[in-house]
A and B are shown apart, each in its own frame.
Chain A
Amino acid sequence: MRPRSKDTARKDLFPGSLEMMVLQTLRRRPLHGYALVQHIKEASNDLLHIEEGSLYPALQRMLKAGWVKAAWRTSATGRRVRVYEITASGSQHLGHEMSRFEKMLEGIRLVLSPASR
């Protein structure tokens, strides 16, 4: 059986992490879906593996929220691809999420570091 929606959510690092990575990647340059997957894979040294299936629903969610916009363009290799671009509100959202993420990391670090024991 293929994982269903509940399972994919569980494979996320934490809720919203996929969106954060996608936004962060798109902030550098606009990309289409397949390139996004490849980029995240490479950037994380293959440590992070995006469930390809979960990317498209996530992109649709972000389109609906207005954090990204999409347009059909011709890629360098001559393919018709749908390229996603981050919007201003997407950047804002990313900033917000990043600071939340930092705080959370800090919290986890404090709890887990030996000094606090």
Chain B
Amino acid sequence: MSWLDGLRARRTADDDLAAEMRQHLDEKTEALVEEGLTRDEAAARARREFGNVALVAEQSREIWRWRLADEAWADARYALRQMRRAPSFAVAAILTLAIGIGANTAIFSIADRALLNPLPFPDPDRLVTINEIVPLIADRPIRLPAPDLIDYEHQSHAFEALGGWTARTFEVSGGRESERVQGVRATASFFAVLRVGPAIGRSFTADEDEGGASVCVVSDGLWRRWFGADPLVLGRTIHLDRVPYRVIGVMPRGFEFPLRGADTASVTDIWVPMSLTPDERQARGDNWSYNGIARMKPGVTLPQATADVNAVAQEIVRELPRDRAGLLTFRALAQPLGDQLSRTVRPLVVALAGAVACVLLIACVNVANLLLARGARREKEVAVRVALGASRGRIVRQLISETVVLALLAAGLGALLAWWTTGVLSGLVPTRFALLAQADFSWRVLFFTGGIAVATAVVVAIVPGLAATRRQRFEALGDRGASSDGVRHQRLRSALIVAEMALALVLLVGAGLLVRSFRDLLETSGGFRPESAVAGHVTLPASDYPDAVRERQAYRSLLDRLRGAPGVQFVGIGTALPLKGRRFERAFTPDQYVPPPNARFNIVGMTTIDGAYLQAIGATLLAGRYFTPEDSAQGAPVAIVTQSVARQYWPGQDPIGKRLKWGIVQSPAPWLTVVGMVADVKQDSLDAAGAPQIYVAADQAEQTIVASMQREFTIAQLRSMFIVVRGEARAEALVGSVRDAVHGVDSRLAVDGLEPLTETVAASAAPQRFNMLLMASLAGMALLLAAIGIYGVVAYSVAQRTQEIGIRLALGADGRAVVGMILRRGMALAGAGVAIGTAAAAALAPMLGALLFGVKPLDAPTFVSVALLLLAVAALATYLPARRATKVDPMLALRQE
């Protein structure tokens, strides 16, 4: 039987039953009339003896029906009718809940992607990174040397596929203005590990990888940008660093690996074969800069995978070249890839999830309060329904279904709000949190929204629902005195207000801490002066600049051109730029330094500079001098150190004149003499500590560095330089000068990231700004809702007590005394809320630790000012209705009865 037939059959059954019972009553009435009763008496008695017709009908119907569904539908219709009757209540409740549900939906859609499903690849749980822990370098897992990567790929057994990649940029040129794009060198197995293939064409083969074939796979974005989405792109040529490459594949739209923010600064557009050079293949125990990723075979556990690669690692350790054997030990391990991607955003997302939960709870409390107040007004209606035979469970269910309807409407609105906010948010997400911009509205999100709406409805309805039915039925039917609202009722509302205040305080403390962090961050010195300076980045393609001579010539010419530009004060180039996070860490040996036993390598950031780089970034010279043109290839090798290098290796001594060299003690590199010391410069980000740096002169790089390292690798590093210009001219003019100078040297050369240093600083503070903005807007919502909540409750209780207040005023009470009385009661509630909230915030604040900068989680000024703010808002929200109470006309109030 179809659903429709069932419905029709039920309708007939209903009609039959009604007719049958009517007939029963008729027959009985007639029998009673025959016994001598009047018709009216007979009809009344027949009805009485039959019982509650409606209830009997309902009970009979229940036997046939899908009872719950039917009742739910009836309840929903009833609820909608109720809403039409009190539209302002419905609008207030729906909006309040929509904010709470919307905020939760938005954060869930973010968390769902960022924490629960960070990897948009098949079977993501089996994806791992392969890392090494080298005690001499650091305790944390680091990347791999190239030869180790090859060994892991060929000698491990626990993996379906194991591959490697390393990020680099490419100049894309030919036909139009060159651009520098993010690229990746990847092994052929890279795509097999991810199990994602090109949408058009193919990925490269192992032979192409080994053989150094000039083929590439491009991103959907580059395909559209550079090839106009040409479907016949396969086989076309693209010039990467001025070397022709054949396009063999286009990745699907949305494919992103490595992920922007986690490993690279921008979206990857090009994948080329890794094609390791002979130099790279031989760098055993050196140059840990290759990322290993792998897909575990089904059923393989993480410890098994780790054991597997570590076995290979130990084999490598045993066979290390003689100069490193015994000195270098390490172990290898596999770590879940998803976890590592989630790590950067986890503290924020967890904090946000807590915050939106608070907002929703506050919204629930507000709506529960509204319902309580309305429940009091609807007492009679409920009492009538109870008297007519509605069971208590039925009444509570009715109330719950009313709120379910409210909550579902709110959920619809909230989902729209969330959809809109996540859209706006993803435009604001700083690069570091790129994962957060990936949120999408999957069915899981909508499921979550529905679930949370129903849960919300039940939470909101259960308290007023029970309160409504517990009251004496008959009492409510009759007239009642002014006090029958019930002390318990009032107490319940008070408790809700206290809870609301406490929740708002917790959120405000969180937001306050982040605001302070952000302010502190902006005030902290990065060790350079960003004002009136611009910087950009260029990389000379190896094909046109094959050796150090050509390279030096190009940069010297660039510096000369820029020095002559109008308004330019200082010009310099360097392999690193403050806050850009690009640094080359090297082991070095300071002279006269006795390392503690079991010391690590002395690792320091090496920045090769030329021109007036330090003056251009605005570094602070603390001792000695800057480099001069005399510090040339022919001059004595020199170095400038940052303060932390001097403090660590020559504590309490004058660093000027001290000596150091690159590499370990045995290294054949020449000694450099320290000629200057500058204040620490923050290389990674404003919130990171200043990393120790040693600056060396570009002209001396070849003799002091290259001698000790892989020549090719170092020259490659020196090809890529930041240009920094400081001057009186406007930033736009300086930017123009840099671009012109670069194109004057090489018309095809692309300059990327050309911007004022102030913008670099702003970008570095972007994550904190983002955290702060999100948390502050949530706290703002919480504050607003809490203020509305306390206002509503006070206004309601004032309305309830109109009579009492009228009597007081009539008896000569001062208006101010009445305001004081109401204010005192309101503030007592707020005070209790603040006290509880402070305790809760103190317990929860340490969880924010990872997001804070320069502020302790238990920052007293934040706690105090937030508490004062909340009390002030509560006072205002209480004062407004209180003042209205004194405007009550005593006579009117007394007559109200």
Interface residues, chain A, with chain B CB atoms under 8 Å away: 1-5, 32-34, 51-54, 56-57, 59-61, 64, 70, 72, 79-82
A–B Cβ pairs within 8 angstroms, 22 of them: A1-B387, A2-B389, A4-B389, A4-B391, A5-B59, A32-B20, A33-B20, A52-B24, A52-B28, A52-B50, A53-B52, A53-B55, A53-B56, A56-B20, A56-B21, A56-B59, A56-B60, A59-B60, A60-B13, A79-B23, A82-B19, A82-B23
Chain A minimum-CB-distance residue to B20: A82
A2–B24 Cα distance when bound, in Å, is: 19
Taking CB atoms, residues of chain B closer than 8 Å to A57 are 56, 59-60, 62-63
| Cα-based distance from A48 to B831 in the complex (angstroms) | 67
- Nearest CB of A to B493, in Å: 31
| A34 CB contacts on chain B under 8 angstroms | 23-24, 27-28
Contacts of B389 in A (CB 8 A): 1-2, 4
Residues of chain B within 8 A of A54, CB atoms compared: 51, 56
Q: A33-B24, A52-B49 are in contact. List 7 more A-B contacts (CB 8 A).
A: A3-B51, A34-B28, A59-B60, A60-B17, A60-B60, A82-B16, A82-B23
Please measure, in the bound complex, the distance between the C-alpha atom of A51 and the C-alpha atom of B28, giving whole angstroms.
Answer: 14
The reply to whether the CB of B121 lies closer than 8 angstroms to some CB of chain A is: no
Complex: chain B residue closest to A61, CB-CB: B63
* Cβ B23 vs Cβ A52 within 8 A: no
Q: Mark B46-72, 1 if CB is under 8 A from A, else 0.
A: 000111100111011111100000000
Question: What is the CA–CA distance of A51 and B48 in the complex, to the nearest angstrom?
Answer: 11
- B61 and chain A: residue at smallest CB distance: A60
Contact status of A51 and B51, CB under 8 A, knowing A56-B20, A61-B63, A64-B63: yes
* A contact residues around B16 at 8 Å (CB): 70, 72, 82
Contact of A60 among B50, B64, B391 (CB under 8 A): B64
Residue of B whose beta carbon sits closest to that of A59: B60
Tell me, rounded to whole Å, the shortest Cβ–Cβ distance linking B626 to chain A.
95
Q: B51: which of A52, A70, A79, A82 is its contact (CB, 8 Å)?
A: A52
Binding site for A on B (CB under 8 A): 13, 16-17, 19-21, 23-24, 27-28, 49-52, 55-57, 59-64, 387, 389, 391
For B13, what are the chain A residues with a Cβ–Cβ distance below 8 Å? Answer: 60
Looking at A56, A61, A81, the one whose CB has the most chain B CB atoms below 10 A away is A56
CB pair A56 B391 closer than 8 Å = no
Kindly identify which residue among B23, B50, B62 contacts A53, using a CB–CB cutoff of 8 Å: B50
Q: Return chain B residues, CB-CB under 8 Å to A2.
A: 51-52, 55, 389
**What residue in chain B is nearest A6 (Cβ atoms)?**
B391
Q: Which residues of B contact A61 (CB under 8 A)?
A: 63
Nearest CB in chain B: distance from A4 CB, A: 7
List residues of chain B with CB within 8 A of the CB of A3.
51
- What's the minimum C-beta distance from B442 to chain A, rounded to whole angstroms? 43
Most B CB contacts (10 A, CB to CB) among A32, A52, A70, A72 go to A52
Q: When chains A and B are docked, how far (Å) is the Cα of A82 from the Cα of B49?
A: 20
Given known pairs A2-B51, A3-B51, A61-B63, the reply for A56 and B56 (CB within 8 Å) is yes
Q: Which residue of B lies closest to A49 (CB)?
A: B49
B63 contacts A53, C-beta separation under 8 Å: no
A79 near B27: Cβ-Cβ < 8 Å: yes
Within the complex, what minimum Cβ distance (angstroms) separates B796 from chain A?
32
Q: How far is the CB of A50 from chain B (nearest CB, A)?
A: 10
The docked-state distance in angstroms from the alpha carbon of A81 to that of B20 is: 7
Specify which chain B residues have a CB less than 8 angstroms from the CB of A56 in the assembled complex. 17, 20-21, 56-57, 59-60
- Greatest chain A CB density within 10 A among B17, B20, B28, B389 is at B20
The residues of B that contact A32 with a CB separation of less than 8 Å are: 20, 23
Closest A residue to B389 using CB positions: A2
Q: Chain A residues with Cβ under 8 A from B23's Cβ?
A: 32-34, 79-82
Q: How far is the CA of A1 from the CA of B27 in the complex (A)?
A: 25
In angstroms, Cα B57 to Cα A6, docked, is: 16
Enumerate chain A residues within 8 angstroms of B49, measured Cβ to Cβ. 52
Complex CA–CA separation, A59 to B13 (angstroms)? 12
Residue in chain A with minimal CB distance to B16: A82
A52 to B51: give the CA distance in the assembly, Å: 7
Residue from the set B19, B27, B389 with the largest chain A CB neighbour count within 10 Å:
B27
Across-interface contacts of A52 in B (CB, < 8 A): 24, 28, 49-51
Q: Which residues of chain B are near A59, meaning CB under 8 Å?
A: 60
Is the beta-carbon distance between B63 and A60 smaller than 8 angstroms?
Answer: yes
B47 to chain A, nearest CB (A): 10
Which residues of B lie under 8 Å from residue A1 when comparing CB positions? Answer: 387, 389
CB-CB < 8 A to A33: which residues of B?
20-21, 23-24
What CA separation (Å) do A44 and B341 show in the bound complex?
Answer: 82
How distant is the Cα of A34 from the Cα of B50 in the complex, in angstroms? 11
Chain A residues positioned under 8 Å from B21 (CB to CB): 33, 56
Closest to B388 in A: A2
Separation of A81 and B16 alpha carbons in the complex (Å): 10
Cα–Cα distance between A64 and B64 once the two chains are bound (Å): 7
Q: Point out the residues of chain A lying under 8 angstroms from B19, CB to CB.
A: 80, 82
- Chain B residues in 8 Å Cβ range of A51: 51
Closest residue to A5 on the B side, CB-wise?
A: B59
Q: Which 10 A-B pairs have the closest CB atoms?
A: A53-B51, A57-B59, A60-B63, A60-B60, A2-B52, A34-B27, A53-B56, A34-B24, A52-B50, A57-B60
A90 to B49, CA, bound (A): 28
How many Å from the CB of A60 to the closest CB on chain B? 4
**Contact residues in A for B63 (Cβ distance below 8 Å):** 57, 60-61, 64
